[in-house]
Structure 1
Amino acid sequence: MSVFRLPNAMPETDKSRLPEEKRAYENGKSTVNDPPWACGLSRERICSWLTTLVVLGTVGVLSACSGESRADLSARAASSTGKERIVAGGVRGLNYSPDYIHSFSVAGPRGMEGGGGNMIRAGKEGPGEAGERCCIGIPQPWMPDTKLEIEWELDRSPYDNDIQNGLEVMRATVTVPEYGPSTYGFWAIFLPEDRVKVMVMDGNANGHNSVRTKPPEDDPFVVQGVRDDAQTKKLQERYR
């Protein structure tokens, strides 16, 4: 933020003439452009500086009262200056569903493309987990309403011999929750009834991106997946 500073030193003036010159200046009869009582500053310069002070003060008040979050301000600043950066991160997954997840992939704007998979179904020990794969681009700063397309292949009967009929391909459009300036990879979290959530781990959760806590039923970032019939047919034909 710009800081207004007065000059370090003001010009010396003949203080004995101040009352007389000031009266003449106020009555419009002064012949000098820089009256001594103004410390060497012209009327135009004084008005310019006062205007600057008023504008700066107004901007500060509006920023404080606008209600914009830290992330919104950062996003707006980045979009206006174009100073966005992409940070590489690993991709991992958690599977709370009763289905085996063969693979998943995500695609979105600004380098957010990656994938993973090979997750066993959830058991008594907890969710199935995918090993980390490289890599996905994580934009900084986070931008509101960043959406990704996620697709995953699952097997509803992984321990039956009839693998063909258990295979399905699901799709969903997901929104990436807010994350901070320090990130620790991208996660896809699969839930019962073909629901899914994605997030970027940032170490402080922000109330929305805790990896080791199963998303609650009312989590606004959990999305219902939809079966892709065309891709499901192609997948099943590969195992004929």
Structure 2
Amino acid sequence: MIVYKMRIPLLSALVVLLLLPVLAACKGQPASTPVGVRGYNHTDHSIAQFQVNGGSGGSARRHSAGGTVCCAVVPDRWTPDLKVEIEWTTDLETYQKATVSIPRYNEVGSLAVHFLRNGQVRVFVTNLILGHPDYPLTGPEAPLREGENPVWEHLRRPPGG
């Protein structure tokens, strides 16, 4: 009877020891959310295909936005070292790759990937779409066509407003 009582604590201790690595692996993972991916092409060449961290991002015709595709995963909380790897092609033969920092965001939203006229790629996590006055991409690189106002006319604020 003493032998039987000794086996239960020993078996329990063994199970706990075996589960510790699994529990430790789960503890350090930050909370994250799957989000849609949308490409914006500001260039004169269609983006035949692009990927975000190896997952499909879709395509985008020249000077236009592609549709939203599923999915990328972003952390619920932004960190200063947050980056994504973007890979894209215009001809399905030659691929380009860029590692891009994601600017600060306060809440999770879609992942917007911008292919700019100067060859750079910018990425934002946002609940807004290009055309909104508060969209994070501003300045001369914001319009899909050079020289146009990127903010939709019906959303433009009156001067001084």
TM-score band (shorter)?
0.5 to 0.7
| Higher helix residue share | 1
Aligned counterparts, 1:38-77, within 5 A: none
What percent of counterpart residues are identical? 35
CA–CA separation in structure 2 for the residues paired with 1:148 and 1:136: 10
| Higher strand residue share | 2
Match of 1:154 among 84, 87, 90: 90
CA–CA separation in structure 1 for the residues paired with 2:97 and 2:139: 19
Residues 215 and 84 (structure 1), Cα distance of their counterparts in 2 relative to 1, 3 Å cut: farther
AA aligned to 2:83 is K
Match of 2:34 among 78, 83, 88: 88
Gaps of 5+ in 2: 1-26, 129-133, 142-161
Larger radius of gyration: 1
Match of 1:142 among 78, 99, 111: 78
Residue deviations 1:148-201 (CA, integer Å, cap 9, x gap)? 22110114xxxxxxxx9xx53211111011111x32211110011322111111
Who is 1:101 aligned against?
A: 47
Q: Aligned-pair RMSD on alpha carbons?
A: 2.6
Gaps of 5+ in 1: 1-80, 108-112, 123-127, 156-163, 204-208, 218-240
Match of 1:183 among 104, 108, 114: 108
Residues 215 and 119 (structure 1), Cα distance of their counterparts in 2 relative to 1, 3 Å cut: farther
- How many pairs are equivalent? 110
Q: Is 1:117 matched up with 2:53?
A: no
AA aligned to 1:114 is G
Q: 1:82, CA displacement in angstroms?
A: 4.2
AA aligned to 1:187 is A
Residue deviations 1:74-122 (CA, integer Å, cap 9, x gap)? xxxxxxx847211111111100011110111121xxxxx6332321111
AA aligned to 1:185 is S
- Structure 1 stretches of at least 4 aligned residues deviating more than 6 Å after TM superposition: none
AA aligned to 1:86 is S
TM-score normalised over the length of structure 1: 0.41
| Partner secondary structure for residue 52 of structure 2 | strand
CA–CA separation in structure 2 for the residues paired with 1:89 and 1:199: 12
